[in-house]
Amino acid sequence: MHVERIWLASYPRSGNTFLRVLLNAAFDTVVNSKYDEDYSAFSKKFGELLGHGKRNNFNIIKTHEVESDEFPTIYVVRNGRASFVSYYHFCRNFETTRTMRDIISGITPFGSWSAHFRGWKPNERANTLLLRFEDITADPSTAVRQIGEFLGVEPGELPDVSFGALQKSSPEFFRSGSNECNIVEIDGESIELFDEIHGDLMRELGYYPECSKKER
């Protein structure tokens, strides 16, 4: 695919970085970012996994914002409950303290989880590949094949880039990758607020059964 730009878009903590590692491993390309990123804040190995210093062969750009252009896009979505809890921990560790209610309500630089998805409309948008975090982590090879078809390029052999391997390289950044572990951290009031704001999209995407009362 020869275009001016391809977006790699997601709400924060939804698998964007994991996909960047896969793109480096399978297509020998680095994914640039709209944001200043200091790999040394995590580890040298982390930078190597992302392909730091390599050429961006497809001009893929990471973004957490809703872009208004029509460039081709790879969009990654994750169970909203797991995503916002992971984002909550990321803010505490690397940015600024935000409460769970702040993130649920969209008091963040990138708005809320469902507003982000609604803004992109990746299930309707032309030239867009919609991937799920849960599918990517469960079967990276299939995700790589789908990306290869989208880019029009045959991927190379995929080495061990499981989430567990990444967690060993940078445990503060790659926490657990487990939706279930994140979801059980949510208190009752936050669950109610989340369902009020994001319940419709959770149902549309088929995530709602995963968040039944027995998990609360």
- pTM, 2 dp: 0.86
Give φ, ψ of 17 to 5 degrees: -70, -40
Range list of H helices, 35-127: 44-49, 80-94, 100-105, 113-120
For the record, the structure tokens of 38 come out as 């200091």
Residue 92: the pLDDT is 81
Residue 71: the pLDDT is 97
The span from the CA of 132 to the CA of 46, in Å, is 23
For the record, the structure tokens of 150 come out as 């989208």
Contact 185, 102 (CB under 8 A): no
Length of the chain in terms of residues written: 216
Residue 186: the pLDDT is 80
Residue among 128, 76, 67, 104 at smallest CA distance from 185: 104
Strand, coil or helix: 196: helix
Kindly give, in sequence order, each residue whose CB lies less than 8 Å from that of residue 25, ignoring residues fewer than 6 positions away: 49, 156, 158, 159, 161
Residue 216: the pLDDT is 33
Strand, coil or helix: 32: strand
Residue 121: the pLDDT is 98
Render each residue's pLDDT in the chain as its tens digit; 216 residues: 667 899 999 999 999 988 998 999 999 999 999 987 766 555 566 777 788 888 999 999 999 999 999 999 999 999 999 999 889 988 887 777 789 999 999 999 999 999 999 999 999 999 999 999 999 988 999 999 999 999 999 998 876 666 666 666 666 555 555 556 656 668 788 999 999 999 999 999 999 765 443 333
Strand, coil or helix: 75: strand
For the record, the structure tokens of 110 come out as 């990138």
Domain ranges (residues) in the chain: 6-215
The span from the CA of 14 to the CA of 181, in Å, is 15
Residue among 55, 63, 76, 49 at smallest CA distance from 6: 63
Residue 212: the pLDDT is 42
The span from the CA of 38 to the CA of 58, in Å, is 22
Residue 115: the pLDDT is 98
Topology (CATH level 3) of domain 6-215: Rossmann fold (3.40.50)
